[in-house]
Amino acid sequence: MAHRPGLSHRFTHAITRTPSNSVSNGIRAVDSGDPDAEKFREEHGLYVEALQESGLTVDVLPPLEDFPDSCFVEDPAFCLPEGAIRLRPGTTSREGEGTAIKPALETRFERVVDLPGHGCVDGGDVLMLDDVILIGLSARTDRAGADAFAGVLAEWGYEAEVCETPDGVLHFKTACSTLGDDVILATKVMADSGFFGNRKTVVVADGEDYAANVIRVNDVVLVPEGYPQTLAAIEAVGFQTVLLPTHEARKIDGGLSCLSLRFALSTD
């Protein structure tokens, strides 16, 4: 596809969802204790404020007690300027989240389509760059889903590449992020993968792999607090940063990108 400067980080809007009390039952690969719902909501409020201060109009959806992981709105949908695609998360307990988020998508987009077929895609496995959209295969995203998603993207004029996410990585974006301007932040294993071509890659510090999940929002990069070496590395290549607490989200395998759908709508 043609290079579209700013596609990956120039946004006008975001959709988020307030964490529910049931978030304590959220999925996790390793049990490090249950998240505290009230503290999670406090952290989520700071996250929403940071998005707003970065220039976004933020839709904050109400909590869904029936879906403990539903605050991670990035997984059941994917948004582009032309419209939204409802995905099919690869975990049974999250199957209803796509239906639940559909009204919010339809409020913002005239075009909302469903992922064809029966395969699964989690939005956490989709990394949007300015010239290609990378789809990582994982325990949550299978080949059938990735190929179907790539087909929809091709119909919309976007190039997609399907990647074999390295072993031990939950979601593709667990281990990498775009900083925009052809700069990637990644763990060492992802940096060595060859997925990112000739783009400049900033490698997160040893012991700070969680900090690979950041989000560039217009002129700032939102970074989880507690990872000073990675923060310094991002700032050293010229990016302005904002630190945010993600202590509760991390307990159920969540990061900054998971907590919002970010997109650009025409302001004409």
Please say if 258 is a catalytic residue. yes
Q: Which is the catalytic residue, given 79, 163, 176, 258?
A: 258
Distance CA 67, CA 34 (A): 15
- Alpha-carbon distances of 165 from 20, 45, 135, 172, 193, rounded to whole Å: 30, 32, 9, 6, 9
Q: Which is the catalytic residue, given 9, 79, 171, 176?
A: 171
Please say if 171 is a catalytic residue. yes
Bridge partners, 215 (sequence order):
222
Query: Would you say 150 and 141 are in contact if contact means Cβ atoms under 8 Å apart?
Result: no
Just list the catalytic residues: 171, 258
